Structure 1
Amino acid sequence: MSERHQAGTARPPRAATTAARRALAVAVVASAGAAGLALLAATRTWAVEVTERAAPLPPASAVRTGAALAPVIPAFALVALAGAGALLATRALGRSVVAALMVASGGAVVAGAALTMADADAGRRLWPVLCLAAGAVIVAVGAVALRQGGQWPSMGTRYERAPAPVPDGSRAVRSTQEGRSDPARTPGRRSTGQFWDAIDRGDDPTTD
């Protein structure tokens, strides 16, 4: 009874397991949503450059998206989006590496938006602000994953099965059957190939 009690107390409580799964789900959804928001904001128009031309030609306008002004934003937003999925599939050291990459990716998104904020038109600065917020969320999720990710479950944990133990008696019977099925392992007996070799040499294969 004491051994069963100790084994039962060694397992994590169901409430703690549920809380860990909920934290992992929130981290994945938050990072994926923030990365998607950064990608969306980077594809919007941040500035319109108007260039005067000689008459009678009208002024030429050039549209600048966030991706054109700061290419690092969509690039690292994609890295963060991939990291959101990798949080589910990794654990231990692998999850720590993913979390560190997410912190770096979020920081790059924040830096790219901050550096190009002044290049955006006054009426279109909502998009770089959204990129700043999205990058901050990605950094926060990565930092939490670095600190608590080791306690979160992985995607394939519940499907893992330990190999079934083989009884010692079954191993002994199997090894005995394997030994009997192979004439070459039995002293005093010859294999079929050895019989044919003896006949080719002109020897009597029935004699040892």
Structure 2
Amino acid sequence: MVGCVSVVPPPRTDDAAASGPDPAAGRDQAGGRRSVAAALLLGALGATVVLLASGRVWARGTAAIGGGSLPLSADGRAVTGVPAALAIVGLAALVAVFAVRGRGRLLVSALLALSGLGAALAALAYADGREALDAAAARTTADTAARVAGLTHTAWPYVTAGGAALILTAGVLALWCGHAWPAMGGRYERDGGRAGSPSRRAAVVDPDRPEDLWKALDRGEDPTGTP
């Protein structure tokens, strides 16, 4: 079971630091990392499966031409381009989940889940492939009334739907646990970086060293003031 907990450790008090590491906090962080890793793995794997399976042959048949028959086949993208397109949307949403926070993350997570759901439904709805093969038969025979015969199917539409289900699972996981995940480029304050921390107060500015003056100004301090 993947835990939906924060992977960002909370600030520790002096008492907590003195008592050593908190086992419960360590377990929570490990659970949070697992949820992040699971969503990334499921989303990336699912999109890869959908893109690869969409390029495989989904249906085969024959078209009558000149007293004989011509074998025809249609891959997933010829049958429907929806799963592949939604897989790309899902990949973009998977990355965007970690670039936003709050309500934005909720919306992007929903988009991730919906892209997986839509890709799965499209793969199952067009698994027959007859329409694409009939169109291929009409083009091949130059007869708009031509229809494909001997229609057979492969398992690739269902593999595509399975990959889309992985994207959907990643989206549901992001909806459920995403509030506790970190965001890219987020800066977490450290005790030593706060304005009132002992390390900042203990900083000594040498007026004879210009570089110290500039560093103090960068930190927001008045290098001419007295301690």
Give the structure 1 partner of residue 178 of structure 2: 149
The one-character-per-residue Cα deviations of 1:19-67 (angstroms, maximum 9, x if unpaired) are 2122101111111101110111100011124211124xx5333321111
2:104 to 88, 94, 115: 94
Residues 42 and 73, structure 1, Cα contact 8 Å, conserved in 2 = yes
The higher radius of gyration belongs to 1
More helix as a share of residues: 1
Equivalent position amino acid for 1:147 in 2: W
Give the structure 2 partner of residue 173 of structure 1: 224
Residues 170, 54 of structure 1: alpha-carbon distance in 2 compared, 3 angstrom cutoff: closer
Residues 42 and 169, structure 2, Cα contact 8 Å, conserved in 1 = no
2:160 to 118, 126, 131: 131
Q: How does 1:38-77 map to 2 (within 5 A)?
A: 38-55=50-67, 59-77=69-87
- SS of alignment partner, residue 71 of structure 2: strand
* Cα distance in 2 for residues equivalent to 1:170 and 1:107: 54
The one-character-per-residue Cα deviations of 1:146-181 (angstroms, maximum 9, x if unpaired) are 121001223334x5557764879953838xxxxxxx
Aligned residues: 167
User: Where do 5+ consecutive residues of structure 1 fail to align?
Assistant: 175-208
* Cα distance in 2 for residues equivalent to 1:8 and 1:104: 47
* Cα distance in 1 for residues equivalent to 2:18 and 2:111: 37
TM score, norm. by length of structure 1: 0.67
Give the structure 1 partner of residue 46 of structure 2: 34
Q: Following TM superposition, by how much is the alpha carbon of 1:123 offset from its aligned partner in structure 2, in angstroms?
A: 4.7
TM score, norm. by length of structure 2: 0.62
Residues 50, 17 of structure 1: alpha-carbon distance in 2 compared, 3 angstrom cutoff: same
* Cα distance in 1 for residues equivalent to 2:34 and 2:18: 23
* Cα distance in 1 for residues equivalent to 2:26 and 2:107: 28
Q: Following TM superposition, by how much is the alpha carbon of 1:94 offset from its aligned partner in structure 2, in angstroms?
A: 2.8
The one-character-per-residue Cα deviations of 1:108-132 (angstroms, maximum 9, x if unpaired) are 11111111122375451x1111112
Percent identical residues: 27
* Cα distance in 1 for residues equivalent to 2:47 and 2:106: 19
* Cα distance in 2 for residues equivalent to 1:44 and 1:8: 60
